[in-house]
């Protein structure tokens, strides 16, 4: 059985829920495959109508959904109501992309008379929906990266059906969201299997889902360990399938003295704010600060520690994440980091942790490169641009990297920008990297270990591309050309 837990008290919340059986999993996936048969050829207007209706459904149930999610996650009603609004906005954004024909865009090469290489046949490159997508919900965003989050939205917009694997940390929230989905599908007279739902606490269900022969792709947001295991299962199938994971990231911030001298106090307060607002439970949380050894940076560290000491982070979304935070802190201390702020507690809400290490130690000890999910900040002190680049290279891959103070065109700043772009999917020059805009220029994904497919994004218009496979049609008949890229 699957038990919902009150995030603040650690006590059971409501009755236990049955876990999905292997037989139920098979029926759900087969229903998704049946629904895909017709949905793949749906029009942009039909896809847009569904996504708009789902957004309206979320808005109509915002207060009730936020209340359930607040019990299970402890994230607070204002934050959760805002997250529901973001999720609805994303659905409407992709609805408009569908109406504009984004999933059906084609590339043409006109015929040239004669034999190759001078001549060529007429070619049209179209994109075909992959099929049923297995979507694994995240723990820290019970709406924006969950049942109707970015993966489900972009898969439906691409013409795929979806089977959602609910996160065990908020099962009641997932069921309430699925009730909204099923009501919309029923009202629009669409197959109930277009968006399926399975739930279970163990990893066996997720592995069984990704191994089901009718699943055509997978999408995951969560830990590096969990995502890597599911990716391995996807690759080991008799017919391997694409599996798109958005995983952990330390999101380094290179803070140059000029930026700290101009506004270090405000930057310290901005960093500290996320410890209290969300216990730093964000995939883009800037948890690694790279600072030079100078008086300005010393003053900034003092401001940051003071600002974090004043914060009161709330309970973490699951007991598992809470225990992992303590384990991560212990691992950094064991690897040689020196604590600047460390107030251990057994409460559901952790205290902020700050530690410092020199560049050589950081580069040499892989344990320091691991993400500590929660209000943890590791400061790495460097003596040169060369050392800064070594630190960035040691990180390996991140969703974001931030450079404060590179406002002038200098050789050092160019080197830092090159180094940041080499490891991150998004490079930030002002403010903080938290928050992921839903727009055409967005990139939410980077080199391993931040994601498994750094050429793709899980947020923004290009998220569609993950679930569409290119096909070249040569000398296609007129009736097929008239469909303008819409699958038949």
Q: What CA–CA distance (Å, rounded) separates 251 from 450?
A: 9
Provide the Cα torsion 275, 278, 282, 287; round to 10°: 0
Pairing of strands 252-255, 398-404: parallel
pLDDT at 202: 84
pLDDT at 94: 98
| CA-closest candidate to residue 17, choices 131, 168, 214, 188 | 168
CA angle 454, 464, 89 (to 5 degrees): 110
pLDDT at 276: 66
pLDDT at 111: 95
Contacts 24+ apart (CB under 8 A), 475-478: 475/111, 475/121, 475/122, 476/122, 476/124
Tally of residues, the chain: 488
pLDDT at 258: 95
**Which residue ranges form the domains of the chain, and what is each CATH number?**
22-247+451-481 (3.40.605.10), 252-428 (3.40.309.10)
How confident is the prediction along the chain (488 residues), in pLDDT tens digits per residue?
899 999 888 899 989 999 999 999 999 999 999 999 999 999 999 999 999 999 999 999 999 999 999 999 988 999 999 999 999 999 999 999 999 999 999 999 999 999 888 899 999 999 999 999 999 999 989 999 999 999 999 999 999 999 999 999 999 999 999 999 999 999 999 999 999 999 999 899 999 999 999 999 999 999 888 999 999 999 999 999 999 999 989 999 999 999 999 998 999 998 888 766 677 788 888 999 999 999 999 999 999 999 999 988 888 888 888 899 999 999 999 999 999 999 999 888 899 999 999 999 999 999 999 999 989 999 999 999 999 999 999 999 999 999 999 999 999 999 999 999 999 999 999 988 888 999 999 999 999 999 999 999 999 999 999 999 999 999 999 999 999 999 99
Contact, 396 vs 369, CB < 8 A?
yes
pTM for the whole structure: 0.95
pLDDT at 318: 85
| CA-closest candidate to residue 214, choices 160, 145, 165 | 160
Q: Give the residue numbers annotated as catalytic, written as ranges.
A: 246, 283
| Residue 192: HSE in the Cβ half-sphere, 13 Å Cα cutoff | 8
The two tokens of residue 43 are 């029009």
202 C-beta neighbours (distance < 10 Å), count: 10
Pairing of strands 123-129, 468-474: antiparallel
């Amino acid at each position: 059985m699957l038990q919902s837990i009150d995030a603040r008290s650690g006590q059971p919340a409501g009755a236990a829920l049955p876990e999905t059986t292997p037989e139920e999993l098979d029926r759900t996936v087969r229903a998704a495959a049946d629904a895909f048969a017709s949905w793949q050829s749906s029009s942009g207007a039909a896809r847009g109508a569904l996504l708009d209706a789902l957004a309206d459904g979320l808005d109509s149930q915002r207060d009730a959904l936020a209340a359930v999610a607040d019990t299970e996650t402890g994230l607070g009603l204002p934050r959760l109501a805002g997250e529901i609004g973001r999720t609805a906005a994303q659905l409407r954004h992709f609805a408009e992309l569908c109406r504009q024909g984004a999933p059906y865009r084609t590339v043409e090469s006109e015929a040239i008379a004669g034999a190759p290489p001078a001549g060529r046949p007429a070619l049209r490159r179209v994109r075909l929906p992959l099929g049923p997508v297995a979507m694994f919900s995240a723990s820290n965003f019970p709406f924006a990266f969950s049942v109707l989050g970015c993966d489900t939205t972009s898969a439906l917009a691409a013409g795929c059906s979806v089977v959602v694997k609910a996160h065990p940390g908020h099962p009641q929230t997932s069921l309430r969201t699925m009730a909204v989905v099923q009501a919309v599908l029923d009202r629009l007279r669409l197959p109930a299997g277009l968006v399926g739902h399975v739930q279970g606490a163990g990893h066996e269900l997720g592995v069984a889902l990704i191994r089901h022969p009718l699943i055509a792709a997978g999408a995951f947001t969560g830990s590096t360990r969990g995502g890597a295991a599911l990716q391995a299962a996807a690759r080991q199938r008799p017919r391997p399938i694409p599996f798109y994971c958005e995983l952990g990231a330390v999101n380094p911030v290179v803070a140059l003295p000029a930026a700290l001298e101009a506004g270090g106090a405000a930057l310290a307060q901005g960093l500290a704010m996320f410890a209290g607002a969300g216990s730093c439970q964000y995939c883009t949380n800037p948890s690694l600060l790279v600072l030079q050894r100078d008086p300005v940076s010393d003053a900034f560290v003092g401001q940051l520690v003071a600002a974090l000491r004043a914060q009161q982070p709330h309970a973490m979304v699951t007991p598992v994440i809470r225990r992992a935070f303590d384990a991560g802190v212990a691992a950094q201390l064991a690897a040689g980091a020196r604590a600047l702020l460390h107030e251990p507690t057994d409460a559901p809400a952790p205290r902020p942790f700050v530690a410092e290490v020199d560049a050589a130690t950081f580069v040499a000890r892989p344990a320091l490169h691991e993400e500590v999910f929660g209000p943890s900040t590791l400061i790495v002190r460097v003596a040169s641009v060369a050392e800064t680049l070594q630190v960035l290279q040691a990180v390996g891959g991140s969703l974001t990297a931030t450079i404060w103070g590179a406002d002038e065109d200098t050789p050092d700043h160019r080197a830092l920008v090159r180094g940041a772009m080499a490891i991150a999917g998004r490079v930030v020059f002002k403010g903080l990297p938290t928050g992921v805009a839903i727009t055409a220029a967005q990139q939410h994904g980077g080199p391993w270990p931040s994601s498994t497919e750094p050429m793709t994004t899980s947020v923004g218009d290009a998220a569609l591309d993950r679930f569409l496979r290119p096909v070249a049609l040569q000398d296609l008949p007129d009736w097929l050309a008239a469909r303008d890229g819409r699958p038949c």
